[in-house]
Homo-oligomer: A and B are copies of this chain.
Amino acid sequence: MSPKNQSAIPDDASPLVRRLGRSILLTYDEVKFLETMQVNQAEVDKGDEFIHDGDPLRLTFLVRSGWVMRYKITAAGRRLIIGVSLPGDFIGLHVNFNNSAIYSAAALTKSSLALIEPVRILEIHRRFPVLASGLEWMTVRHANILSEHKVSLGARTAAQRILHFFLELWTRLEQVDLATAKGFQLELTQEQIGDCMGLSTVHVNRSISRLCKENLLRIDKGAVSFPQLSRSISFADFDKRFLMEFSTRPGLPEPINQIASN
């Protein structure tokens, strides 16, 4: 792979390219393929549900802008938000395995989605092994996030959970250049935060108040920041390893790239 085929990330790169570009030194062809893959787009309004639990799943979605939630409704009628998908995140990358959705997805804000034919995913596997490993990494990372959420719901207090969640969102947004060094713009209502962290709206409200009062958190017109970051991190027991990028194809002594390298 000659260096001249290696591509710097252009300023107008999609969040996906921006994200993968952090872990993989992408080639020009790879960037081009990833961008072309996203040409077919759909705009969804806040509140629109575009994946319905149980319905057949025919496409993979990729969030280009906006915030999206994936959720389930229990038999008792409670909604639980499995996760929030941010720009650069895929939804339904597993479409080639599962022919029906086992969750619903709806837009939390007006969003732009790329609609990706399942065959494109197969094509990545066939033609771009390094990208394929990138997708695989995204699936692993998705599991890491869920795993950390399980830890939160199972073993942390309400305030810790919420703060941990905010730190997670901040880190993830930062990885696609959508957050500042100070913080980020929150696009969730307290009810949604509660549905995500297994808490009632009322309790979310009280916990947030307390966090703010204790200077572990600041929210101003939806702008979340952390006045004393290290205290927040330690209070929330936040260890960002679970969100770390992987590194590959640098001088590539070993890792995944092997794959590509032959």
**CB-based contact A96/B257 at 8 Å:** yes
The reply on A234 being an interface residue by CB < 8 A is: yes
With the chains together, A98 CA to B140 CA distance in Å? 10
Q: Which residues of A in the span 91-146 have a Cβ within 8 Å of any Cβ on B?
A: 93-100, 102-103, 118-119, 122, 125-126, 129, 132-133, 136-137, 139-140, 142-144, 146
Indicate if the CB atoms of B149 and A150 lie closer than 8 Å.
Answer: yes
Q: Of the 9-residue stretches A32-40, A44-52, A76-84, A223-231, which lies at the interface with chain B?
A: A76-84
Which B residues are in CB contact (< 8 Å) with A76? 155-156, 237
Find A154's partner among B80, B126, B133, B244 (CB 8 Å cutoff).
B80
A149 CA to B198 CA, complexed, in Å: 12
- Asked whether, in the complex, the Cβ of A153 is within 8 Å of the Cβ of B94, the reply is no
Categorize the interface residue count of chain A: 35 or more
Give the CA-CA distance A239 to B146 in the complex, in Å: 19
Residues from chain B with a CB closer than 8 A to the CB of A98 are 140, 244, 246
State the 9 A-B residue pairs at the shortest beta-carbon distance, nearest first. Answer: A154-B198, A118-B260, A146-B146, A153-B153, A75-B237, A97-B246, A143-B143, A96-B256, A78-B155
Q: List 19 A-B contacts (CB under 8 A).
A: A74-B151, A74-B237, A76-B237, A79-B155, A80-B154, A93-B140, A94-B137, A97-B136, A98-B244, A100-B241, A119-B258, A122-B261, A126-B262, A139-B139, A139-B143, A153-B153, A153-B198, A154-B195, A155-B198
